Amino acid sequence: MGLFTGLKDSISRATDRLFSEQEPKRIGIYGPPNAGKTTLANRIARDWTGDAIGTESHIPHETRRARRKEDVEIERNGKSVTIDIVDTPGVTTKVDYEEFTDEMEKDDAIRRSREATEGVAEAMHWLREDVDGVIYVLDSAEDPITQVNTMLIGIIESRDLPVLIFANKIDLPESSVKRIEDAFPQHKTVPLSAKEGENMDEVYENIAEYFG
């Protein structure tokens, strides 16, 4: 390689790096099914862009495909960050279509479970390849120490991805944020109710500070 070519490549690499630093960070919203990931993603997207991302539902695996909202600029206390929010299906190690047959016909339940499995597989693949940071959403009314949560947090840690834990559903009487803080003391836990919009200021402060 000649001197000129080498210099050109070096400048090109530096320029690429400069531009890549300006690109939005892809923040994956992960967590177990029904923790309120889509409700939170919609709340953030509506607050900063005016549009929602997807449909919210009490039925597990309503989000069967990851959905992305691009260029969401969040500003708080003089700090700002532009992120692409990636709302992912709830991660699980099992999907049984019979869980949905009370709510829908068998064919629809089978289709839903197939889509859910593909969505979870994609979400796991992207966690290894395609996200710059993670918002991990937990239902604060549920026991956080489950195998899936422990595994997912371990996978995220092993990739050295920045992660914020959001203890959602604090509007429920049985909510316990401390239970989540005690389960994952190595990470910052932010309490909120995505449904009621409680404590969203602190949510945005932490997103701007942590991922900015």
Partner 1 sequence: MPEATKADDDRHDGVQIDLISGERMEGLASMEKIRMILDGVHDGNIVILEEGLTPDEESRLIEVTMAEISPDEFNGIEIETYPKSGTRDSSLLGRIMGNDESPKKLTVIGPANQIETLHKDETLISALVSRS
Residues contributing to the site for partner 1 (CB under 8 A): 91-97, 110, 113-114, 117-118, 120-121, 124-125, 127-128, 145, 147, 150-151, 154-155, 157-159, 185-186
Task: Give me the least distance between CB of 89 and partner 1, in Å please.
Answer: 10
Task: Give me the least distance between CB of 159 and partner 1, in Å please.
Answer: 8
Nearer to partner 1, 14 or 151 (CB): 151
Task: Give me the least distance between CB of 188 and partner 1, in Å please.
Answer: 13
Nearer to partner 1, 159 or 178 (CB): 159
Nearer to partner 1, 163 or 194 (CB): 163
Cβ neighbours, 10 Å, residue 62: 18
Nearer to partner 1, 92 or 176 (CB): 92
Nearer to partner 1, 11 or 145 (CB): 145
**Dihedral of CA 70/32/35/114: which sign?**
positive
93, 148 Cβ separation under 8 angstroms? yes
CA distance 147 to 205: 30
153, 134 Cβ separation under 8 angstroms? no
Task: Give me the least distance between CB of 209 and partner 1, in Å please.
Answer: 21
- The DSSP bridge partners found for residue 25 are 83
Helix (H) or strand (E) holding 22: helix 3-22
Task: Give me the least distance between CB of 176 and partner 1, in Å please.
Answer: 18
Instruction: Map tokens 């000129």 to a residue.
Output: 4
Instruction: List C-alpha distances in Å: 2 to 8, 10, 11.
Output: 10, 12, 14
166 CB-side CA count, 13 A = 32
